[in-house]
Structure 1
Amino acid sequence: MAPASFLTLPARAPKPRSVGLTHVLDPGATSARAADLLGGGAPYVDIWKTGWGTAYVDGRVGEKLAVLADHDVASCLGGTLLEIAWAQGAAEACLAWADAAGFTHVEVSRGTVPMSLDAKHELVRRAADRFVVLTEVGAKDPHQQRSLGQWSDEAGRDRAAGAALVVAEGRQSGTVGIYDGEGSVREAVVDAVVDAVGLDGVVFEAPRAGQQAWFIRRFGPGVNLGNVALEEILSVETLRLGLRSDTAHVSVPDAITPEPVR
């Protein structure tokens, strides 16, 4: 059956694109599950991050990375695994393994183990020789809030060190980093990161539908969204295209859109 085409909707840049990125979080899906999801959703997924250390314990991760490559989806190694490897003096071994496995991107973060900014940026430079590097800014611990100056400084220095994109921390819960404990957006933090690296240079972790809608309403359908759940791939695309009430103004300018529920 041919795709539906009877509506006038916002234009979406074709892949590979540099704006309007959808970055999904994989908690350990099988290659068959990945193939099933991408059978219809591949046009809407840009970066597929294997979360935590799931890639390390998945004996068939190479098969999944091959599925991603077949669907023109970038594969990203999550930052926690690299942090642990760095803490154990095995960062180079981790990067070599990721390269051999077929990852195209790696995330460099410092939210799990104590790591100085200088050490983080040295790791970025080492990784950038072989991968597209995403760096994460913001603390995972809600009790370790950073100042606006720290957010903007780290984001800017990450880009200068070689990061292609900066990921603004929100975690899978959507209750830390750029969000408060209730999941509401900390707008001043968002503005600080955007001021530091530009809108196109940041991926906002937004695991909740209301958070995704907030960013689309604030910045438009071309905003980069991250930590999207695998089952929400099509749902996020409908938000971008104005096919849900929270963002219907995108496709119908005079639509009555409620405030996004966070």
Structure 2
Amino acid sequence: MANSPGFLDLPERAVKPRARGITHVLDKGLTPAATDALLSQVAHLIDIVKVGWGIGYVDPTLSRRAAACAAAGVSVCLGGTLLEVAARQGRVDELRSWALSVGITHLEVSNGLCLLDPDDKLALIKELSGQFTVLAETGAKDGTRPVHARQWAEEMARDLDAGARWVVAEGRESGTVGLYRSDQSIREDVVAAVVDRVGPENLIFEAPTKAQQTWFVRALGADVSLGNVEPSAVLPLETLRLGLRADTAATTVGAFG
């Protein structure tokens, strides 16, 4: 494993550029200095930085920060809410041109606001996947909306067929909607359904809390792809993946000790 002393027997981790075991970080408006500091320490562990919500639209340093990420081998994705707003206003072409001009390589296509027709979401994936790597998110941001495991699985399968590279299970930064109940517990039926339908290699599970991250590492292994990770949690998450934290150390000790 790169950037480690190398004397312990630990789970094998995919190396960048990774197709599995993605660590997808939620950027809630880091400064350029904070971005540089994050990259200098953990760029080797981060695959995608998502500039959340519509922050990219109002951040005058976005192009500078995107360039720093690109130089460090980290992809930058715009949050799906911004695209949903642009789609509702008929401004997708303008968003596309602007995103390309500031160095964005990934776009999240979602319907978290529940304002788009399902066919419109598929059309956006097909349209944008020619110029961007598309992450298609399933799930509403409104925690009162019902969650049906089979419907999620079928939507994700359609999104992949339309050209998405990964499908993302909605959890928000709170970990209390979509994939999760209001008490942050995991809807295991949803996880089972989507893994069975589209395969873990195509999935990114938004998992903002330590307990949620721990559950996924235990259930699906070190190379489960996790999203909405706080910048400060990148190193702690890697210790969970590798069994270097009490929450997951039992599997490492059992396998190698």
**Same fold per TM (> 0.5)?**
yes
Aligned-pair RMSD on alpha carbons?
A: 1.3
CA distance in 1, matches of 2:193, 2:111: 19
Match of 2:29 in 1: 28
Residues 21-61 of structure 1: CA distance to partner in whole angstroms, max 9, x if unpaired? 10000000012111101111011100100001111001111
Question: Is residue 106 of structure 2 the alignment partner of residue 105 of structure 1?
Answer: yes
Match of 1:176 in 2: 177
Matches within 5 A, 1:51-70: 51-70=52-71
CA distance in 1, matches of 2:167, 2:216: 16
Structure 2 portions without partners, runs of 5+: none
Match of 1:251 in 2: 252
CA distance in 2, matches of 1:27, 1:128: 25
Once the two structures are TM-superposed, the CA of residue 220 in structure 1 deviates from its matched residue by 0.4
TM-score by length of 2: 0.96
Check whether the contact 1:135–1:158 (CA below 8 A) recurs between aligned residues: yes
Match of 1:208 in 2: 209
Identity within the alignment, %: 48
Once the two structures are TM-superposed, the CA of residue 69 in structure 1 deviates from its matched residue by 0.6
CA distance in 2, matches of 1:254, 1:127: 44
Match of 2:190 in 1: 189
CA distance in 2, matches of 1:77, 1:250: 36
Matched residue type, 2:70: A
Match of 2:237 in 1: 236
Check whether the contact 2:175–2:184 (CA below 8 A) recurs between aligned residues: yes
Matched pairs, number? 254
Check whether the contact 2:114–2:140 (CA below 8 A) recurs between aligned residues: no
Match of 2:49 in 1: 48
Question: Is residue 181 of structure 2 the alignment partner of residue 164 of structure 1?
Answer: no
Check whether the contact 1:139–1:169 (CA below 8 A) recurs between aligned residues: yes
CA distance in 1, matches of 2:252, 2:167: 29
Residues 158-196 of structure 1: CA distance to partner in whole angstroms, max 9, x if unpaired? 111100000000000001111111001100011111122
Match of 2:39 in 1: 38
Which secondary structure does the structure 2 equivalent of 1:43 belong to?
helix
CA distance in 1, matches of 2:48, 2:78: 10
Matched residue type, 2:183: E
Matched residue type, 1:56: Y
Residues 90-131 of structure 1: CA distance to partner in whole angstroms, max 9, x if unpaired? 011111111111111000000125111100010011110100
Once the two structures are TM-superposed, the CA of residue 249 in structure 1 deviates from its matched residue by 2.6
CA distance in 2, matches of 1:153, 1:3: 40
Check whether the contact 1:10–1:250 (CA below 8 A) recurs between aligned residues: no
CA distance in 1, matches of 2:77, 2:245: 29
Once the two structures are TM-superposed, the CA of residue 6 in structure 1 deviates from its matched residue by 2.6
TM-score by length of 1: 0.94
CA distance in 2, matches of 1:253, 1:67: 40
Which secondary structure does the structure 2 equivalent of 1:166 belong to?
strand
CA distance in 1, matches of 2:85, 2:161: 24
